[in-house]
Amino acid sequence: MSNTAGGAVIEERRADAGQANGERPLVEVRDLKRYFDVGRGAVLKAVDGVSFQIRRGEVLGLVGESGCGKSTVGRTIIRLYEPTGGTVLFDGQDVHKLSGPDLMRFRRRAQMIFQDPYASLNPRMLVSEIIGEALDLHGLYESRKERTERIHELLNLVGLNREHANRFPHEFSGGQRQRIGIARALAVKPEFIIADEPISALDVSIQAQIVNLMTDLQEKFGLTYIFIAHDLSMVKHISDRVAVMYLGKIMELAESDELYQHPQHPYTQALLSAVPIPDPRVERTRERIVLKGDVPSPLNPPQGCPFNTRCPLAEKICFEARPELQEVAPGHWVACHLVSPNGAA
């Protein structure tokens, strides 16, 4: 087999991570790359060869440290960024080749909830205008009365009152603003929502309320989510599967319970060791894995495994060759030279 053919097989297997039994996934990401030219010949590799699939009605959690590229993945899928390489398929169609009516249909079917509820809402627009803008753009009402009723219905769905429609964003708390952002995303009745760290800018007391709201909406409307976050405990609560990113690449991908109970990649193990456990007896006895050093710059990533500069288990091969994402157990994918197919490091 030629090197080209072999690479194609590898990418196809990596993209198969999480495929349902013969059912076409709603979202399929194949070897996605997004690089940024930062001047003077330097290139920042924010996303560098990411592959996964999302089934209809599923919630995929995307986690990792700040700067790992998880938000860039979401923004490239939704077409806020154009990819440097790779493919994004939505219901079998190449997202970045859509135009005209096909692109408008995609924008109805796929929406995004942004991280900062203070920056993502136009401060000069009333809430009714913010939510109604999408209805106007897609022509989703036949009369002004129907438009108003739809806005009030959306506000009620996210736990706000119809009276809130005539207020400006600065009159709301952070949690309420995020609810407005969720209502705006729901206005066009999407199938797929990318939630880009929707709780990171909120008070801890409000975070669980927003996650519970999103869970209720997902169950009510059969939504498919990518839930991007760095809070591993929240991701576990809402996600069916979890993908762990590091320096633009996926290190591990598995069902949520499987990942949290049997993490295989050293990076995932270190992240989970920092998550508090409510049982004080277990918390006192468990070992914390402290990573040394900082995340390398994506402007100058290390050769071989991107985690080799901080990995306490790194061997010679880790500095020579980049590990491929391989299935080490049914539905459990790991990119690590030190993890065997039976899941043992």
Please, which residues have CB within 8 angstroms of residue 251's CB and are 6 or more apart in sequence?
244, 245, 265, 267, 268, 307, 334, 335, 336
Q: What's residue 8's pLDDT?
A: 44
- What's the CATH number where 227 sits? 3.40.50.300
pLDDT over 60 (residue 47): yes
pLDDT over 90 (residue 126): yes
pLDDT over 60 (residue 184): yes
The model's pLDDT over 99-112, given as tens digits with 9 standing for 90+, comes to 999 999 999 999 99
Question: Looking at the domain assignment, is residue 123 inside a domain?
Answer: yes
Question: Looking at the domain assignment, is residue 125 inside a domain?
Answer: yes
Question: Looking at the domain assignment, is residue 344 inside a domain?
Answer: no
Count of domains for the chain: 1
Question: Looking at the domain assignment, is residue 343 inside a domain?
Answer: no
Q: What's residue 212's pLDDT?
A: 94
Which residues constitute the domain of residue 290?
Answer: 3-334
Question: Looking at the domain assignment, is residue 302 inside a domain?
Answer: yes
Question: Looking at the domain assignment, is residue 316 inside a domain?
Answer: yes
pTM: predicted TM-score of the whole model, two decimal places? 0.88
Q: Where are the beta strands (DSSP E) in the chain?
A: 27-39, 42-54, 59-63, 85-90, 93-94, 110-113, 192-196, 224-229, 241-246, 249-255, 326-329, 332-334
CB 45 within 8 A of CB 68: no
Q: Which residue is listed with tokens 């709780």?
A: 199
Q: How far apart are CA 20 and CA 100, in angstroms?
A: 31
The model's pLDDT over 227-250, given as tens digits with 9 standing for 90+, comes to 999 878 889 889 999 999 999 999
- Residues 315, 310, 70: CA angle, nearest 5 degrees: 115
Alpha carbon distance, N-terminus to C-terminus of the chain: 29
Question: Looking at the domain assignment, is residue 140 inside a domain?
Answer: yes
